[in-house]
Amino acid sequence: MFRISLSKVPLSRPVFPSIQNAQGRTVATTVNVPRRADVPNPRGSGKICTPQDFLKAIGRSSETKISIDNWEAFWRTSGWDMKNAGLSVQDRKYILWCMEKFRQNQPIEGFVHEEKPKKKIRGRGPAVQFGKRIRSRRDR
């Protein structure tokens, strides 16, 4: 049983005890805490002032999928919050990706793109090419 007195441990060190691995080396354990991303200022020559304006600007009808009225709350929203709101994986990834690009001061016109259209032909290609039916080698 490990006992740690917080009064003796400096705050810059990890609170967890060290562990010895199989080779006899001491390994310190730490916790990976993600950084809190900054909340960017509204910009875009007055076009983007609310979260709904941002979602309309990035397209893919994102403004209909999530509704947050507060600018601060929108930029503090995580992927888990979006998942609990019922967004699909593709929508969450796209919105979070656009939010990060906006935080990096990239112009919206530079990173926004339309969704890929669905494939018209399923499988490995059409069964008929140049007017002839294509058969696999297994059929012979």
Measure the CA–CA gap between 85 and 114, rounded to whole angstroms. 23
pLDDT of the residue at 6: 44
Measure the CA–CA gap between 102 and 110, rounded to whole angstroms. 10
pLDDT of the residue at 122: 61
pLDDT of the residue at 11: 47
| Every domain of the chain and the residues it spans | 51-111
| Cα dihedral: 99, 105, 106, 109 (round 10) | 80
- pLDDT higher than threshold 50 for residue 53: yes
CA angle 101, 40, 53 (to 5 degrees): 75
* Global pTM value: 0.59
Per-residue model confidence as pLDDT tens digits over 31-46: 665 556 688 888 765 6
Res. 5 pLDDT band, cuts 50 70 90: very low
- Which residues, at least 6 apart from 127, have a Cβ–Cβ distance to it below 8 Å? 133, 134
Measure the CA–CA gap between 119 and 125, rounded to whole angstroms. 11
